[in-house]
């Protein structure tokens, strides 16, 4: 038995420490003795390498050895461990937990891993795998990202088996997940070769060089020959006399020589306070200098209607913005400015609350129909209803006139920044979050992903428009919203309107959805025509959201409630592109990242397709010769996320060479400024600029 234990790099005492599950303190130890007879292989540095419960020869042999060791001579029942041994086991468990706690604390502090408070070894492995370029789904399914290629054949190579518990410690000492070697080499025999899918870390997640592959050969006591299998077409390594399937190394695409895509960084939401004062200018100045040093093209800032015109109509306070703009110009950075006519707060990434102007809120208290309203009569003060675009309900002005006066004031007060080219782009806010959409999924009203949302057309001004449209059609009884569209958190199949073959495709459904989506397009057309007057000669953009959940259903329910009439049998984005092209306005499309960057959302039943939606929207824009700008919707700090953005920004093998006209990074903050993150971001910027880059090593 002692000989067998040394074959796997451990002893009988180590086996007792690592091979037997230890219950929490206070649990029944007798049950622990009876249940934990599962065989365990112990590898280098105490790695647990377990196989499944199949009846293979390898598992059966060692199961019998464990039983022989734990069973008294002559057979019979297993002996019960003495009290002292149980206490030693509990003490070892406490020590193990203390070490685990320190490892997790170090990863959170120094490695920028987003680990929950009660993280376990699965969370650690998942975090390390994601950093290495793998996609890890919530259910544990793990696979390479799309940007990774198949490893080419190389010469002599070797495998390295490393303890998972040692990975965080090695990383904090300056190593990455790639290229880690154990202090104790392991010999791989014929028995171990029966285990398929052996994972071998390399010196880099994306390194395909022969030197990197051969580097690991000096870390192991066996030789492994690499070759391409002619049948399966993937890399297979031969260990001794057996073939072992090896994970393909991760191939990172080279963007050197590709088109230059400018990169802008969104400034923090709270950089200007409610008194229109610049907050913490010294820290901001240092951060801007860092951005300038890594050749970021410029920054983006929201100009909040609720701050500038907060108290009295047509009294504009631009004081804090003037100081900020001067700081940006002194550093020779470009500026993009967002005309933000919506409320801030309540969505992902919103860490401040900026309401609509006080005088607007006063009007809303006496006339709540100036806000979007759902079927239950709940009003949403997030932004003004498009039904009052031409209604003089805002102290004698229409909503369109209020927006135009605000834009004209900005253009006059900051004329010098337009003249010298510091302000390079203006984005016009057209709805909630500045996006051209209805506020159909408000978290404040109880919506949770992936609910279909609700139609937002029940204020009296929009209902008046619907009534007129129904009467014009000759069916006055159609002057109502759908009655079987469910609630905010319904699924399409649970409703009579959105289900397959549902009322969305009936005569009434097509009439209502045409009116609902046309109202959205008309609002965008109206406000953008005024923006062209206010900012003549300036590059203007409008933002569309990436509503990708339920995209694989026939109705595209979440898009319908948001105002995009885009079921599977209709292109709902073509009319919007025609409207943007009419005004010469560029498209800013929010890049959906749910599949790789937001493990907290359950997308297993949402039938989402972020890539399919992005493909449809971007091609609709490019086919109309509309420039496309994009921004990330979720935090983006790691290589996998950056590669995802790069692949979308510069599509591979596009016959027309189409690409983003610019990219907006959300958002500037202390986390981005941490050394490793800013180095990775600098590398991303260079690749967006089409420059050659080198691999970053910790």
Q: Which residues are marked as active site?
A: 435, 631
Taking alpha carbons only, the member of 586, 599, 605, 693 closest to residue 641 is 599
Contacts of 590 (CB under 8 A, 6+ apart): 435, 543, 544, 545, 546, 630, 631, 633
Stretch (H or E) spanning 581: helix 574-583
Taking alpha carbons only, the member of 484, 486, 473 closest to residue 518 is 473
First to last CA, the chain: 42
Q: How far apart are CA 179 and CA 168, in angstroms?
A: 13
DSSP state letter for 99:
H
Q: Read off the tokens for 476.
A: 């006055």
Contact assessment for residue 626 and residue 577, using Cβ atoms and an 8 Å cutoff: yes
- On the 0-12 / 13-18 / 19+ scale of CB atoms within 10 A, 522 is middle
Contact assessment for residue 589 and residue 629, using Cβ atoms and an 8 Å cutoff: yes
What's the sign of the alpha-carbon dihedral 186, 189, 192, 197? positive
Contacts of 534 (CB under 8 A, 6+ apart): 404, 407, 408, 410, 411
Contact assessment for residue 629 and residue 587, using Cβ atoms and an 8 Å cutoff: yes
Contacts of 615 (CB under 8 A, 6+ apart): none
Q: How far apart are CA 433 and CA 161, in angstroms?
A: 48
Taking alpha carbons only, the member of 588, 598, 586, 490 closest to residue 545 is 588
* Rg of the chain over all Cα atoms, to the nearest angstrom: 30
Stretch (H or E) spanning 663: strand 662-665
Interstrand relation of 298-304 and 334-340 (parallel, antiparallel or unpaired):
parallel
> What are residue 263's DSSP bridge partners?
663
Q: How far apart are CA 353 and CA 347, in angstroms?
A: 10
Contact assessment for residue 521 and residue 575, using Cβ atoms and an 8 Å cutoff: yes
> What are residue 298's DSSP bridge partners?
264, 334
């Amino acid at each position: 038995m002692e000989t067998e234990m040394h074959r796997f790099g451990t002893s009988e005492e180590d086996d007792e420490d690592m091979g037997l599950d230890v219950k929490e303190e206070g649990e029944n130890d007798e049950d622990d003795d009876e249940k934990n007879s599962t065989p365990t292989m112990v590898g280098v540095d105490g790695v647990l390498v377990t196989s499944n419960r199949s009846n293979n020869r390898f598992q059966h042999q060692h199961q019998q050895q464990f039983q022989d060791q734990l069973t008294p001579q002559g057979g019979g029942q297993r002996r019960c461990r003495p009290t002292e041994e149980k206490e030693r086991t509990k003490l070892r468990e406490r020590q193990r937990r203390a070490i685990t706690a320190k490892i997790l604390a170090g990863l959170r502090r120094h490695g920028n891993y987003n680990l929950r408070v009660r993280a376990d070894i699965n969370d650690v492995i998942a975090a390390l795998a994601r950093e290495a370029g793998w996609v890890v789904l919530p259910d544990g399914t793990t696979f390479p990202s799309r940007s990774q290629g198949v490893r080419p054949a190389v010469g002599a190579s070797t495998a390295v088996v490393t303890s998972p518990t040692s990975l965080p410690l090695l990383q904090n000492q300056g190593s990455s997940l790639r290229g880690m070697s154990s202090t104790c080499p392991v010999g791989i025999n014929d028995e171990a070769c029966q285990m398929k899918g052996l994972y071998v870390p390399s010196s880099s997640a994306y390194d395909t060089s022969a030197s990197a592959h051969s580097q690991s050969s000096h870390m192991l006591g066996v030789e492994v020959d690499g070759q391409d299998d002619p049948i399966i077409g993937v890399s297979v390594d031969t260990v001794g006399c057996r073939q072992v399937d090896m994970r393909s190394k991760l191939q990172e695409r080279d963007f050197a020589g590709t088109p230059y895509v400018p990169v802008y960084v969104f400034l923090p939401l709270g950089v200007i306070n409610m008194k229109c004062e610049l907050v913490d200018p010294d820290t901001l100045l240092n951060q801007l200098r860092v951005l300038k040093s890594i050749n970021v093209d410029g920054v983006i800032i929201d100009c909040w209607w609720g701050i500038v015109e907060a108290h009295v109509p047509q009294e504009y306070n631009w004081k804090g913005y003037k100081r900020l703009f001067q700081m940006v110009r002194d550093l020779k950075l470009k500026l993009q400015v967002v005309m933000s006519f919506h409320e801030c707060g309540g969505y992902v990434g919103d860490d401040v609350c900026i309401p609509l102007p006080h005088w607007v809120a006063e009007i809303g208290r006496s006339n709540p129909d100036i806000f979007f309203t759902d079927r239950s009569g709940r009003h949403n003060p997030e932004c003004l209803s498009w039904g009052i675009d031409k209604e003089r309900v805002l102290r004698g002005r229409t909503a369109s006139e209020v927006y135009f006066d605000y834009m004209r004031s900005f253009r006059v007060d900051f004329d010098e920044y337009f003249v010298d080219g510091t302000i390079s782009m203006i984005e016009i806010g057209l709805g909630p979050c500045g996006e051209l959409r209805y506020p159909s999924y408000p978290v404040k009203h109880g919506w949770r992903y992936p609910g279909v949302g609700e139609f937002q057309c029940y204020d009296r001004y929009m209902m008046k428009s619907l009534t007129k449209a129904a009467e014009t059609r000759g069916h006055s009884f159609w002057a109502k919203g759908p009655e079987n569209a469910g609630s905010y958190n319904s699924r399409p199949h649970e409703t009579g309107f959105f289900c397959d073959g549902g009322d969305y495709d009936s005569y009434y459904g097509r009439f209502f959805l045409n009116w609902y989506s046309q109202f959205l397009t008309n609002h965008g057309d109206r406000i953008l025509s005024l923006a062209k007057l206010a900012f003549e000669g300036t590059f203007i953009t409008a933002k569309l959201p990436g509503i990708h959940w339920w995209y694989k259903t026939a109705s595209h329910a979440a898009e319908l409630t948001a105002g995009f009439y885009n079921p599977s049998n209709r292109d709902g984005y073509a009319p919007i592109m025609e409207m943007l092209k009419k005004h010469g306005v560029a498209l800013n499309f929010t890049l959906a990242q749910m599949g790789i960057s937001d493990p907290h959302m359950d997308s297993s039943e949402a039938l989402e397709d972020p890539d399919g939606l992005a493909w449809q929207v971007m091609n609709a824009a490019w086919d109309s010769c509309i420039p496309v700008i994009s921004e990330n919707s979720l935090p983006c700090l790691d290589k996998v996320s950056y590669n995802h953005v790069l692949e979308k920004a510069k599509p591979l093998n596009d016959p027309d060479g189409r690409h983003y006209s610019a990219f907006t990074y959300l958002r500037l903050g202390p986390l981005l400024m941490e050394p490793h993150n800013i180095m990775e971001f600098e590398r991303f910027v260079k690749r967006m600029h089409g420059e050659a880059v080198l691999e970053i090593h910790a």
